[in-house]
Amino acid sequence: MTGIVGTRVEGLSGFARRALFYLLLTLGALAFLLPFLYMLSTAFKGPRELYDLNLVPREPTLEHFRAVFTQIPIGRALFNSALVYLLQTASVLVFSSIVGYALSRLRFFGREFVFNVILLTMMIPGQLLLIPLYVLIVRLGWTDSYQGLIVPGMISAFGIFMFRQNFKTIPQELIDAARVDGASELTILFRIIWPLSAPVLITVGIFTFMGGWNDFLWPSLVNRDIQYQTLTQMVTLYGIGGQAGGQVGAVMASSLIAVLPMIVVYLLFQRYYLQGIAGTGVKG
């Protein structure tokens, strides 16, 4: 696609160069995929081959999944994670886009100040707020509850930042025309801006959902009661606690259940991940 590429390896014929690159890429890809392949195959391996190096199970079994479902309420955890992080993601999309809209399309005194404060909050390391935020949740009586997981992440500075940058690029004439027709600012945001901003909405949505779903630390502080545990939390505790009792197959089966939704989301929405990364600073 590109003409003269910057870091072309010279002194090799085109074919040899290509072969070298493909070899490098393939070895790399194998190294990256191996832990996943190990997880996948171990989850289905029979008891006699669990510790063998073969990647394709010789005596495939669903026994490990059966063990997981009888030992921990993993269905409940799946439900909890889906509920908590879908609600949180919806909240981030609505509230962050309202703020992002105000910061990009409405004129008011102090706008730049608010935006700078938001940028500053992105620089506060999470560990600084971890303990005081936990104490706050205890005082609010929100331990062992859904709101303790959802509310501290209801608006995100990342979301506001992304929405502000994107909403800026929408032509003013569209907004003016709607205002002439008597549309309220909320109508403009949700009826005109949102339909034009599907990529950034998906990007922010995916990153918010992924961040929540994969988190272990915060749920493990806030929720001890097994009723409210998230999937990542429950599977991790199952894997390191005594409950799995060293059953490698069951640990890998439960791990597979925990990571599979994220892998599916990733495969479906790949290009939005790239936009999220590109949007956060590279071209800034």
Partner 1 sequence: MSATSGTVGDAGGWLSRAAEALSPRRIWREMRRSNPVGYLFVLPYVLFFAVFIAYPFGFAFYLTVHNWNIVRPEKPFVGARNFEILFQDPLFWKALGNTAIFLAVHIPLQIAVALLLAVVLNQPLRARGLFRTAYFLPYVTSGAIVSLVWLRLYADDGLLNQALEAMGLGPVGWLSDPRVAMPSIAVMATWKNVGYYLMIFLASLQAIPNQLYEEAYLNGANAWQRFRYITFPLLNPAFILVVVLSTIGGFSLFVEPFVMTGGGPLDSTLSLVLYLYQQAFQFLRMGYAATIGVVLALLIFIVTLIQRRFLEREVGY
Q: Which residues, numbered 49-88, are part of the site for partner 1 (CB under 8 A)?
A: 51, 53
Segment interacting with partner 1 (CB under 8 A) among 58-66, 67-75, 121-129, 194-202 = 121-129
> Which of 210, 224, 258 has the alpha carbon at shortest distance from 85?
210
CB 109 → partner 1: shortest distance, Å?
4
Q: Binding to partner 1 (CB under 8 A): which residues in 226-255?
A: 232-233, 235-236, 239-240, 248, 251-252, 255
**H or E stretch covering 177:** helix 172-180
- Residue whose C-alpha is closest to residue 241's, from 227, 256, 224: 224
Rounded CA-CA distance 76/53 in Å is 34
Q: How far is the CB of 232 from partner 1 (least distance, A)?
A: 5
Identity of the amino acid at 112: E
Place of tokens 């509230």: 95
Closer to partner 1 by CB, 42 or 208: give it.
Answer: 42
* Residue 103 in the binding site for partner 1 (CB under 8 A): yes
Three-point CA angle 95, 100, 101, nearest 5°: 100
Q: Which listed range, 37-45, 59-67, 173-181, 190-198, lies at the site for partner 1 (CB under 8 A)?
A: 37-45
What contacts 85, CB < 8 A, 6 or more positions away? 208, 209, 212, 213, 230
Name the DSSP class of 216: -
Rounded (to 5) percent helix, strand, coil in the chain: 75, 0, 25
Stretch that binds partner 1, among 63-71, 163-171, 196-204, 270-278 (CB under 8 A): 270-278
Among 128, 173, 180, 195, binds partner 1 (CB under 8 A): 128
Q: Which of residues 173-202 bind partner 1 (CB under 8 A)?
A: 185
The one among 15, 54, 70, 109 contacting partner 1 by CB under 8 A? 109
Interactions with partner 1, residue window 154-173 (CB under 8 A): 154-155, 160
